[in-house]
Structure 1
Amino acid sequence: MVTTTLSNVPGNEPLIAASEQLQGLIESLIELGVLVHDNQGTQQSHTALTMKTNQVVSQLSSITAASFTQQYPIPVDVISYIEDGRNPDVYTREFVEATAKSNARLKGRMLGFRKLRDTLGEKLEKEFPVLKDNIEDIKRRTSPE
């Protein structure tokens, strides 16, 4: 499934390990749900439920302590999306759209300030020819490289 596509790319070993840990956790949570649903109140079902709960807690601890999750923390917003039953891909799409809008707005501001700098420099150079070298220096230092 996911592991086969990830294994084709070198350097994805931590991601593959995290994926396998998550798959194991999902399976354990499903099994825990079945045990809770079918709980008959006997000592045997109580023992099985306790063991499965401890297994889920252990798996959660190992995922939390894994180097991959320490290196690439999951944003709280994504966790909230998942808790609300929403698709985390929606969060990613909305984040990318918001970032693109912000970048476009900032680019517009930069272009506006650049035009202001150039226009102001031209006007100052006309009125004060002595400042030509200083104006050129400012334009050179504030131009994108």
Structure 2
Amino acid sequence: MAPKSIDAVDDQIKDVIQDLFQIQVATHNYAGPQTQQELVRLITQLAGSLAILSDDASALPDQIPPEIIDYVDSGRNPDIYTREFVELVQKGNQYLKGRSEALTGFRDALGEEMVKAWPEMKTDVDNVLRSSHTEQIKREEIVVQTNGTST
């Protein structure tokens, strides 16, 4: 059985709601044996719709983090959870970016001080600075390719 799309399951949920609405209308307008036969037909139709919905919905991927389920169960909006999560990730990224920039500055300052203290190591220090700078550029290019923007 091919996995169903969320849109197909959404349509089936709408069908179940429609079946429930028809049962409600038939119950409200009860007119004897004809209505009873119609109710039996509608309830049978509802049971079939629910069975199809259950089968198709169980084939959907269910990779929802438990934190979101708990969030929704406590009556909170999952969009707020997403916004808070994105803000937390942005703060973490800003912290790591600042830390990376501080370490880059320290690396450069250390290299300069090492060359002042040991001029004979200038070539080695330059090679280390150049290779670490090249690695940093490669990491930034990966970030640009992944995110589409530079950090």
Give the structure-1-normalised TM-score: 0.61
Q: Is the 8 A contact 2:71 2:78 kept in 1?
A: yes
CA contact (8 A) 2:19 2:45 kept: no
Match in the other structure for 2:76: 86
How far has the Cα of 1:63 moved from its partner? 2.4
Q: Is 2:12 the partner of 1:24?
A: yes
Corresponding residue number in structure 2 for 1:104? 94
Q: CA RMSD in A?
A: 3.6
Amino acid at match of 2:119: P
Q: Alpha-carbon deviations, 1:82-126, whole Å to 9, x = none?
A: 222221111110111000000000001001100110111100011
Determine if contact 1:29/1:56 at 8 Å carries over to the other structure. no
1:75 aligned onto 2:81? no
Change over 3 Å in CA distance of 1:78–1:62 after alignment to 2? same
1:1-145 matches, within 5 Å, as 17-25=5-13, 28=16, 48=43, 56=50, 59-66=53-60, 69=61, 73-143=63-133, 144-145=136-137
Distance change >3 Å, CA 116–CA 95, structure 1 → 2: same
**SS of equivalent residue, structure 2 residue 89:** helix
Question: Is the contact made by 2:13 and 2:53 (CA closer than 8 Å) also made in structure 1?
Answer: yes
Cα 1:84/1:114, change in 2 over 3 Å: same
Q: Distance in 1 between matches of 2:76 and 2:58?
A: 22
The whole-number CA distance in structure 2 between the counterparts of 1:56 and 1:142 is: 61
Cα distance in 2 between the residues matched to 1:30 and 1:77:
32
TM-score, normalised by the number of residues in structure 2: 0.59
- Which structure is richer in relative contact order (CA contacts within 8 A, separation 6 or more)? 2
**Change in 2 beyond 3 A, CA 1:83/1:124:** same
Distance 1:114 1:80 in 2: 41
How many pairs does the alignment contain?
A: 120
Flag the 1:51–1:137 CA change in 2: closer, same or farther, 3 A.
farther
State which structure, 1 or 2, has the greater radius of gyration over its C-alpha atoms: 2
